[in-house]
Amino acid sequence: MLQADVLRPDALSLQDREAWRAMCAATPEFDSPLLSPEFAEAVARVRDDAAVAVFRRNGRTQGFLAHHRRPGALARAIGAPFSDVHALITAPGAILDGREALFAAGLKAWRFSNLIDPHGVFGFAPGEPRERFVIALEGTGEAHMEAMRAASPKKFKNWRRLDHKLEREHGEVALTAPDRDGQAFEQLLTWKREQLKRSGLHDLLRPAWVQGLMRQQFATQQGPFQGLMITLRAGGRLVAGHFGVRTATAFHPWIASVDPELHAYSPGQLFLSRAIAAMDGLGLADYDLSAGHEHYKAPYANRRPVAFEGAIFAHGAGPAMAPSLLRAVTPGDAAGRLGRRLDQIASVELEMGDRVRGLIEAGLGWSRREKARQHLEAAE
């Protein structure tokens, strides 16, 4: 019989942590800082609802599910919406039924946005597929960039022209990796929040727990789970940067920010070209750009693994999937876009007042954007 011990992440035994890490090491798809026990522990330091279900059968550990336990026995991925990849961690060959596991953990449903399932514990394609963009080095960073330039010569020629223009007009362009400048870190956060506001999107960086998580990880510069900031400057002026978390070989940025006054130079593209070239110097083999914004990420990615968005119900709690209750939204669909935004608000805002404010802002912003989009289509 499958049993589940539901614990705080910081209450895991040393043996459990070692078993978790061993399962991740045995499955290449699990090599992400966001799937590590250290990430779950980091989130637990800033949120009280963080939990890990440890699944055992006949005394043997079968898997781990890090999650937030929400009202109604609903689970969300640990650290959502900053958990851009999540999974029920198991070893290859483990006999584990995902819906049975949810039931054993006392959960009715699990809502996810970027689920990977390399061992098929859920037994079906769990939701709407989302293509992710990963830069996986097969040599040096410079060699990777040369291959990308050969595949898209016109794009990279234009970006090289903008790189030279930025240097002529603003001074020497230089990458700092890693960058431990606290002022630069705060500037990246400020630019990102301003960008979200201009776009009419929810300010995912506003909640206190998110602010705490970001600053906690920026200050963590040692160990198997660290913060990493990479920045680009021109003449000493901060131009663009990424901030996120890393393991020994994998980097997952959370924040991608650029100076809005320099948007004409495509600073995000100039930054990424140089950051990729610096990967091997940082000891990185994978640079995970996650899903979305294909126009920006696709030219650099040489791996496109699929993750899923949707919901799964435990045995006896409902159907395997219930899009009408926990909608698996589809990109490009208006109701789907609104549904995804409402789900983000529910994930990140913990106080009812903040959720209500976010929902009102989302409704007003969605209405304005849809009217503008319809006006544009009519004009065409």
d(CA 275, CA 230): 7
- Whether domain 138-284 has CATH 2.40.50: the reply is no
Query: Do 109 and 312 contact (CB within 8 A), yes or no?
Result: yes
Question: Cβ neighbours of residue 161 under 8 Å, at least 6 residues apart?
Answer: none
Determine the Cα–Cα distance for residues 173 and 168; give it in Å rounded to an integer. Answer: 9
Instruction: Assign 352 a pLDDT band (cuts: 50, 70, 90).
Output: low
Position 330 confidence tier, pLDDT thresholds 50, 70, 90: very low
Residue 91 has pLDDT above 80, yes or no: yes
What is the predicted pLDDT for the residue at 42? 97
- At residue 200, does pLDDT exceed 70? yes
Both tokens of 360, joined, read 């009102």
Residue 105 in this model has a pLDDT that exceeds 50? yes
Give the mean pLDDT of 193-211.
Answer: 89
For 45-68, how does the pLDDT look when each residue is reduced to its tens digit (9 = 90+)?
999 999 999 999 988 999 999 999
Amino acid 344: pLDDT:
72
Better-predicted residue by pLDDT, 248 or 318: 248
Strands (E), 150-212: 173-176
Does the structure show a pLDDT above 60 at 372?
A: no
Handedness of CA 134, 137, 141, 142 (dihedral sign): negative
Q: List Cα–Cα distances, 185 to 126, 221, 228, 281, 352, in angstroms.
A: 37, 14, 10, 21, 30
> Same CATH topology for 2-131+305-333 and 138-284?
yes
Burial group, residue 168, by CB count within 10 angstroms (0-12, 13-18, 19+): exposed
Task: Tell me the CATH class for 2-131+305-333.
Answer: alpha beta
Is the per-residue pLDDT at 374 higher than 60? no
Q: Are 209 and 141 a contacting pair, CB within 8 Å?
A: no
Identify the three-state secondary structure at position 74.
Answer: strand
pLDDT the model gives residue 95: 84
Number of Cα atoms under 13 Å in the Cβ half of residue 74: 13
Looking at residue 243, its amino acid is F
pLDDT at position 129 is 87
d(CA 329, CA 332): 9
Average pLDDT, the chain: 86
pLDDT digits (tens, 9 = 90+) for 221-239: 888 899 999 999 999 999 9
pLDDT class for 323, splitting at 50, 70, 90?
A: very low
Residues 6+ apart with CB under 8 A from 216: 42, 45, 46
* pLDDT of amino acid 115: 93
pLDDT reading at 336 higher than 60: no
Out of 75-79, 151-155, 178-182, 320-324, least confident range: 320-324
Listed in sequence order, the residues at least 6 apart from 118 whose beta carbon sits closer than 8 Å to its beta carbon are 27, 29, 30, 87
pLDDT above 70: percentage of residues in the chain: 84
Residue 245's φ and ψ, nearest 5 degrees, are -125, 155
Tens digit of pLDDT for each residue in 259-310? 999 999 999 999 999 999 999 999 999 999 998 888 888 888 999 999 998 8
pLDDT of residue 189: 97
Q: What is the mean pLDDT of residues 12-16?
A: 96
Mean pLDDT calculated for residue range 312-319: 74
Higher pLDDT, 336 or 181: 181
Domain ranges of the chain: 2-131+305-333, 138-284
